Structure 1
Amino acid sequence: MIFIYLLIVTTPFSQYPAFYNLFAGLSLVKIFGILSFTYSIFYRRVESRPVHRSSTLEFLIVVFFLYGIFRIAISNEFGENYIFQTILSLLIFFFVSIRCIDSIEKVKKSIICIIVGVFFATYRGLKEYFYLGIARPQSVFGDPNYFALALVLCIIILLNFIFYSKLDKNKKIFIFLLSLIMIATLLLTASRGGVIGLLVGLLVFLLSEKVNRKKICFFLFISLFFIVQILPSHLFGRFGIGNIIDMESEMNSEMYGAKVSTDARKKLLIAGVNMVKEKPIFGVGHGKFKYYSVSYNSEISSSQIAHCTWLEILAEQGIFGFIIFISIIYLTLERLLSVKRLTKNTKCYNFISISNALFTSLVAYVATATFLSAEWEKLLWIIIFISICFYNCFIEKVSSR
């Protein structure tokens, strides 16, 4: 299992230069991926555990990946190689996770590995901001918005572990401090979509029945006080509140940049709608939104991605791919919600904390994904795969009673 855990930890670093070409042209992530796949082939499940049978969710995930591989394979244009490799690697890791992550302890360790990987990325992002002078750190993700998405997913998971798990006080304090660092880093990215996703995740978290709202409000107050003290004033301009704080030239520049970004997204929306109108069933093809954006809206001066996951999937993969993707998200949330309901009045703290953590993080993703193209973000799919493994573990535990 060590190779699988290392694969999850290093996943955010797939494009990191220091890890990119280590041996025979393979990156560190690919090396761990090959080792994990080899391990999964020879892995033997514990005999007392029933072999999991595939369901609608697993079937839809395989169809979604194979649909992408087929569409890209029959096209020789516009260099979709990166998306092809991403889909193929996700399909392989799906097999590895379903086969090997077969206990609640392995699920917990896998979630911890996600947090560890993003924590290292956070360190890199803070280094970029404080030592390299990069105004909006992007860490190893190549873009501040994708960095923000990873931070949002982890922050929500950490908050659930603080308030739902039965960890000792020292561990909760450590998680609390880690959450503060990640929240501050999220704001340094100045990602409006990331902040909205975090707020939506927090709202869902606050509406949970078992949560102690007084403790959460205290946590948010301390977090807000800490963040306001360290956040540079010019970043407020990204959120359109420069008039309230201080009309500095630097802040005005950020506000102007935010306005330009908003106008560009409106033009991309028109381009995406035009693509859907022309090819509604199967779309214009995987990875082709950027190339076709200029052709479908003359007001766009240079090729751009959709900056909206739902628009990009609908335009590139058509109604067929869009329905499958939406169904995958919905069925994953439905499974996690069913675990939450069944453990509502129990003392199964592992299942309670993990189900809430995965559920709220996915809801936060749904909100954040509205403002960036993130259908192929590996952390998203890892969380979906872990959610499936977690649900399988829960069903096996219930059926064994």
Structure 2
Amino acid sequence: MNETIQMLGFFVGCVAGLATLFWVIKKTCRDYFWLVLAIIFALPFERIPSLPIAGFTLKVNHILGLLLILFYAIRLLKKREKFKINYLTIPLLGLLFFISLSLFQTIRPFMSLVTFFQIGFTFLLFQIITSQIDSIQKFVKIVHIIKISAFIVILFTGWQFVGDMLNLPIWLTGLRDLYTQKVFGFPRVHAFSLEPLYLGNYLFLPLSIFVAEIFQGKKNWINLVGFVLTSMVIFMTLSRGAILAYLVFVLLLFFFYPKKTLTVKNLTLFSSILSTAIILVVIILSVLGADKRASFYNQLTLKDYQITESVMGRLNTYEVAWQAFKEKPLTGIGVFNYGPYATGYDLENPFVQQIVNNEYLEILAEIGMFGLILFVGIILLIIYAGFRGVKLAKESEIGSYLAILTIGFVAVLVQYNFFSTLAIIGIWVYAGILVALYGIIADDNSKLRIKNSESHLKIKN
């Protein structure tokens, strides 16, 4: 029943999308930046709507991404567009090279190739999207789209929570069986995402936007309510990885922006929000009963680590992944090959599809040490460029966006310790926005230096 609803949702979404596609095509013939905006808007629509096909899940952004690549390729061939490289282009090609080498180790060539092409598709989208965000005006449009999409997600999570508490069927709430109140005693919201952790991962993009604008003095109701509700939803997921990442995000804000965060007004506001949230949780749990209170407390505080698959399963996979790396440290055991390795290459084993649930360890095990070195290098380059861009931008608004978005990206990377999917479009779009912002700042700085040099020469003459 649930899969039927999923498929129906996918087709309804496609029909709704096709209704505006002709208008989009007209726009994209001259300027396909509208497709970039559509992809960013659709970032949270990961599971609903989607369509499973032969072990592969077709999503809205796969269709939009293919259209974007098509238009980009046509414009390249017609010489209306130049291929622009950025500081991550070469490292990403290097990472793809090592992933391709790992293909020779796999015993599931078809699935490994599918995974390889997914990663390549995601990297190509990153490259194109980064090249299209080439002005502050375009970035402002992206900010508006992110806010709209975030509020849709927030409203839907509220519906999921209330609907499940009222015992509405899952085909109506959109919750998966694993995350209803029947399991934990309370619903763990995940909106349109596959899991609560993935929802938490997405929310750091709008959260960073809201915080950046609040720090700029834009304390309107949209930003304040957006910040509060986004924070609440992250905790409503009850995902330990997302909550840990949120705490890292807040601590980094305190460290880099003490004058904006450690004020009496802000601390009072934060304490009030936290107190209100705690009171609401206590009231809800008191209604649910002792067993459900215990379940909630154990999930939040990790007291169930010895009995839950969430914790013990992860620890076991980490150990197996490390063993796989030690056996083939250079080439890895092959992309998408961890599951077969963990089951002794028994392809009939029901656990053959399992993953490491730690991206860094999975890359180390499947692609090898050079793959991990490149991946970590890419991450460090993004963070370094972020802080360098902030220095170049000085006190400008664009610099503020880049700073807070970089901090939010670090929080996303913290969550990569708890899941392992390299081809997540949302993460690479986030990275693309950071790279593009740095490019805008660097170009403006370069133009300013040239202008100052020309002015200096005129004065001398």
TM-score, structure 1 length as denominator? 0.81
CA shift for structure 1 position 200: 0.4
Amino acid at match of 1:59: I
Q: Which moved more, 1:185-194 or 1:109-118?
A: 109-118
Check if 1:191 corresponds to 2:239. Answer: yes
Distance 1:301 1:26, change over 3 A: closer
Residue 147 (structure 1) aligned with residue 199 (structure 2) = yes
1:369 Cα deviation after fit: 1.7
User: Deviation of residue 305 (structure 1)?
Assistant: 2.0
Shift of 1:290: 3.1
Give the match for residue 316 of structure 2.
267
In the alignment, the residues of structure 1 paired with residue 143 and residue 122 of structure 2 have an alpha-carbon distance, to the nearest angstrom, of 17
Determine which of 285, 309, 313 is the counterpart of 2:363: 313
Output the amino acid matched with 1:355: L
Task: Write the distance in 2 (CA, Å) between the matches of 1:151 and 1:258.
Answer: 26
Asked if the contact 2:357/2:419 (under 8 Å) is kept, the reply is yes
Deviation at 1:101, TM superposition (A): 1.3
Q: Does 1:86 align with 2:133?
A: no
Q: Alpha-carbon deviation of 1:126?
A: 2.6
Q: CA deviation at 1:90?
A: 1.2
**1:107-146 matches, cutoff 5 A:** 107-133=139-165, 134=180, 135-146=187-198
Relative distance call for 1:90 and 1:112 in structure 2 (3 A) is farther
Residue 57 in 1 paired to residue 104 in 2? no
Cα distance in 2, alignment partners of residues 125 and 82 from structure 1: 32
> What is the match of residue 325 of structure 2?
276
Tell me which residue corresponds to 1:104: 136
Counterpart Cα distance in 2 of 1:374 and 1:233: 37
Match of 2:249 in 1: 201
Task: Name whichever of 196-205 and 53-62 sits farther off.
Answer: 53-62
Distance 1:323 1:395, change over 3 A: same
Residue aligned with 1:354, SS: helix
> 2:226 corresponds to which residue?
178
Could you tell me how far 1:111 is from its partner in structure 2? Answer: 4.2
Deviations along 1:83-113, one digit per CA (max 9) or x if unpaired, are 3343132133123223321112222333443
> Aligned match of 1:68 in 82, 93, 99?
99
User: CA 1:27/1:156 → structure 2, altered by over 3 Å: closer, same or farther?
Assistant: closer
Residue 326, structure 1, aligned to residue 368, structure 2: no
1:357 corresponds to which of 392, 404, 408: 404
Alpha-carbon separation, structure 1, partners of 2:101 and 2:44: 26
Mean Cα deviation higher: 385-394 or 367-376: 367-376
Alignment partners' CA distance in 1, 2:351 and 2:329: 24
Residue of structure 1 equivalent to 2:293:
251
Specify every segment of 5 or more residues in structure 2 that has no aligned partner in the other structure, as ranges: 1-32, 77-81, 166-179, 181-186, 449-461
1:301, 1:139 → 2: CA distance? 28
Unmatched tracts of structure 1, length 5 or more: 45-50, 237-245
Query: Aligned-pair distance for 1:78?
Result: 7.0
Closer/same/farther in 2, CA of residues 55 and 7 from structure 1, 3 Å limit: closer
Deviations 1:255-292 (A, max 9, x none): 26554232222212211110111111121122222332
8 Å contact from structure 1 (residues 43, 100) kept in 2: no
Q: Could you tell me the TM-score, scaled by structure 2's length?
A: 0.72
Question: Residues 247 and 211 from structure 1, CA distance in 2 versus in 1: closer, same or farther, beyond 3 angstroms?
Answer: same
Q: Residues 26, 79 of structure 1: CA spacing in aligned structure 2 closer, same or farther, 3 A cutoff?
A: closer
| 2:49 is equivalent to residue 2 of structure 1 | no
Q: Is the 8 A contact 1:187 1:231 kept in 2?
A: no
> Hey, what's the Cα distance between the residues in 1 that align with 2:83 and 2:137?
17
Over the aligned positions, Cα root-mean-square deviation in angstroms equals: 3.3
Structure of higher CA gyration radius: 2
Rounded to whole Å, the distance in 1 between the matches of 2:325 and 2:58 is 38
Tell me, in whole angstroms, the C-alpha distance in 2 between the residues paired with 1:139 and 1:318: 35
Q: Distance in 1 between matches of 2:217 and 2:153?
A: 27
2: CA distance, partners of 1:235 / 1:92: 47
